[in-house]
Amino acid sequence: MRVFHFMRYKWWFLGSLTAVTIFAFVTVFIVGLDLGIDFVGGVRMEVGLESPATVDEVRSVVRAAGVQEPVVQSVTGASATNSFMITAESMSDEQQKAILDSLGTKYGVTAGSVGVETVGASFGRETTNRAFIAVAIAVVIIIGYLSFRFEFKFAIPAIVALIHDVGLTLGIYAVSNRLVTSATVAAILTILGYSVHDTIIVFDRIRENTQFMKKETYGDMVDLSIRQTMIRSINTTICLLLPLLAILIFGGPTLKDFALALTIGTLTGTYSSFFVAAPMLVIWKEREPRFRKRVLEAQGAPAGRLDEEALASPVALTASGEAVEVAAPRRPAPSKQPGVKVPAKTAKRKTRKQQAGKSLKRTTR
């Protein structure tokens, strides 16, 4: 089994983490998220048209009716091929009627395709508070579990990986001007669980290998652990993405919001488990004296010290990829070749045996 030395580039991986952090900060706090009426309150109208229309054309009709700062999205409707979701902070009944009349005159409104939903501002604030509380509780529980199951130094890299996943997901939502709805929050909570699940698999294998690998550096142990768990994580990710892609193609607006956020989080969660949480753990653990000593001892070692020959002892790999401890090879006997220095203790023993043999010969004579 070939082991890739990913941890040699741990600082590059942390550089990508920095880039993602800057991207998320700029897009979320400067560009801004388009919050749905679930968070800010307002009116949401869905309408299906018989003739094709663009988002800009529908937005012009809505603004002409007097609606301020409307958000118009093209969605897949069950009863029409051209459906649009119109969201605004306020939209009176007269404005709704004017919008429907204008759209019906220009494009034709499909019968039974109109739906209107109103959410109060107080309910929106309550939803926002509950969302933040849910995320905060999830993070605290994750930190507590990882600190109990492993140690506190394992919890912090896992939380940084979660922030990476959620930040990148929200950043993509901000750039693409997609509405953040309650379905998006549900997807983010699912992302937290999936990402930490992937990270725990890697961390658990690292902990197991630490008990067997007594001489390798911590980076070498993490490289081996990643190699042993990568195929499993990739297969799990592919199996999860297949139904999500089906929802993105055939699902309704609410399911699509959920599936899009979860798709982004699944991909970033798989990446961050290997290349965000693991490098941070290596950098932190290698500051400990016992692992720091191994790093200093290995600085003059050849580049391929984790190849198959090196892995044969003291750790061997089974057919399933498990690391098991094997007996260390015995030291060879001192060489009798000329020019090879024999240890002092061995020389003394040989001298005593020779003297005892000579005394025995004299007595026999």
The rounded distance, in Å, linking the Cα atoms of 357 and 308 is: 48
Token pair recorded at residue 10? 């741990």
The per-residue pLDDT string of the chain (365 residues; one tens digit each, 9 = 90 and over) reads 677 788 888 889 888 888 988 998 898 888 888 777 777 778 888 888 888 888 888 888 889 888 887 888 777 655 446 788 888 888 888 888 888 888 888 888 887 778 888 777 666 677 778 878 888 888 888 888 888 888 888 888 988 998 899 889 988 988 887 878 878 888 888 888 888 888 888 899 988 888 888 888 888 888 889 988 988 889 999 999 999 998 888 877 778 878 888 899 889 988 998 999 999 988 888 888 877 888 787 776 444 444 443 444 444 444 444 444 444 445 554 544 444 454 554 445 555 555 545 544 454 44
Give the residue from 32, 37, 74, 33 showing the smallest Cα distance to 52. Answer: 74
> With a threshold of 0.75, does the pTM exceed it?
no
At which residue do the structure tokens 């034709």 appear? 108
pLDDT at 355: 55
Query: d(Cα 43, Cα 49) in Å, to the nearest integer?
Result: 19
* Residue-level pLDDT at 258: 84
| The pLDDT of residue 337 | 47
Q: Which residues contact 270 (CB under 8 A, 6 or more apart)?
A: 198, 233, 234, 237
Q: Which residues of 184-210 are buried (b: 16+ CB within 10 A; e: fewer)?
A: bbbbbbbbbebbbebbbbbbebbebbb
Closest CA relative to residue 279, chosen from 142, 161, 152, 148:
161
Tokens of 142: 């994750």
pLDDT of res. 239: 92
Residues with Cβ within 8 Å of 40's Cβ and at least 6 positions away in sequence, in order, are 89, 121, 124
| Structural domains of the chain, with CATH | 6-35+123-290 (1.20.1640.10), 42-119 (3.30.70.3220)
What is the per-residue pLDDT across 153-177, written as a single tens digit (0 to 9) for each?
888 898 899 889 988 998 898 888 7
Q: Nearest CA to 3 among 282, 310, 324?
A: 310
